[in-house]
Structure formats: C-alpha cells, structure tokens
Amino acid sequence: MELLTEIWRRATGTQPAPSSTVVLATAVVAALVVALPQLWPLARHAITLVHEGSHATVAVLTGRRLAGIRLHSDTSGLTVSVGRPRGPGMVATAAAGYIGPGVLGLAAAWLTSRGHAVGVLWILLLLVALMLVQIRNWFGLWSVLVTGAALVAVTWWGSAQVQAASAYAITWFLLLGAPRPVLELLGRRSPGSDPALLARLTHVPTMVWILLLGAITVATAVVGGSLLIAAPLP
C-alpha cells in the first residue's frame, strides 16, 4: 500500500519547468535522433511501438476485439483486431497508427507544459505495461520490456532534473518523429500500408490519405512544440 501511495504521489505531483536551455537542448537531441540515418533506424522502433499501440487503443475504443500486436526487427509492426471489416471503426483504427505518435506527443506536451513532466513518464509506463499483455512475438516482447525498464529506471531512480529532461526529450521525439514515417511513404508506396487500406475502405486516393496524415503529424509537432517552448521561464 505504501508503494502504491508513493507511486501516486510521484505521478500526480507537479514540478517546475526546466530552463529554456534544457528544453531547447532536448529538442536538438530529439531532432538529431530523427534526422541522422545512423540513429533513426534504432529510434524508429519506439515510433512503431506507439504506432501499433495507437491502432490497438482505437480498435478497443471503437468496439473491436484486440487479437494481438507484433513488433518486428525491421521496424514494421502488425496489430490484429476483430470486428466489422468496414465502417467508421475500421477507418479510425487504420488511421490511428501514423497520427498516434504525434497525438501522444501533443498530450505529453500539454501535460509537461503544466508541470506534470514526471506524470508523463508514469503514463507512458502504464501504456507500455498495457501493451505487454497483447504482444505476440519475441522481438516485440523484448522491445516492450526494454522500453519499460528504461522508463522504470528514470521514474524511480532518476533525479528531478533527469526526469524532467527525459520527459521533454521523449515528448520532442514523439512530436518530431511522427511526420517522418509518413514522409517515408512517399518514396515506397505499398499496397499493405495504412493509407492504402484507408483508400480501399473510403475510396479516397492513397496520396490524399498520405497528405492528410502528414498534415496532422506536422500540426501536432507545431502545436506541441509551441507548448514546450512557451512553458519554461527565461
């Protein structure tokens, strides 16, 4: 009981915003991770995890039955849900993957800008734990466990400064990393991609869906970044 009380205290407490230097430094680090070809292939696994988790979340919220999640070493993933093969629920589920990281980043930016940087870390840890029970392959299990272990280490043993910097870095990474997978679709059209599936479901061209998903991810990055930059004291 004492452990749960301590977790609740940490998760719901507020912290002062870090300096503008920390906020901008974490933004630069996140931008480098997204932009550099040496770092992006590894970091993209985290975006895939959120991508598939977004599919799963919306599937459940729209009344579909979740049948499992797979994460692969080539940074691809697969979320299987059971329900009507067409209709608004299926469209929402298919669209959620690419916009999920940006939406999660925007929510994290809103919370961190209001002093809940540590709360963001605990929320992310809870989401990772919920995903764990739906993973259906060994690489996916390894990916989720490593991510969860890193979050536990920061939330439980990190100093207040480390926790705040980590929350800002993760938030920046989600915001800045969300548009890149959508841009990558322009260079490799695949009949099995989410926009291609959306095109079949709605009879709206694949390119229109790519542009729409890209616009949403860019918008979340702009709005979320504005929240993060405006929060710290000069």
pLDDT tens-digit series, residues 169-204: 999 999 999 999 999 998 777 778 999 999 999 999
Which pLDDT does position 8 carry in this prediction? 80
Query: Cα dihedral angle (31, 144, 214, 113), rounded to 10 degrees?
Result: -60
What per-residue confidence (pLDDT) applies to 181? 96
Q: Mean pLDDT for the chain?
A: 93
Q: How confident is the model at residue 233 (pLDDT cuts 50, 70, 90)?
A: low
Rounded to two decimals, what is the model's pTM? 0.95
For residue 1, is pLDDT > 90?
A: no
Report the pLDDT value the prediction gives residue 232, as an integer from 0 to 100.
Answer: 63
Provide mean pLDDT across the span 77-85: 93
pLDDT of res. 222: 98
How do residues 121-152 score in pLDDT, each as one tens digit? 999 999 999 999 999 999 999 999 999 999 99
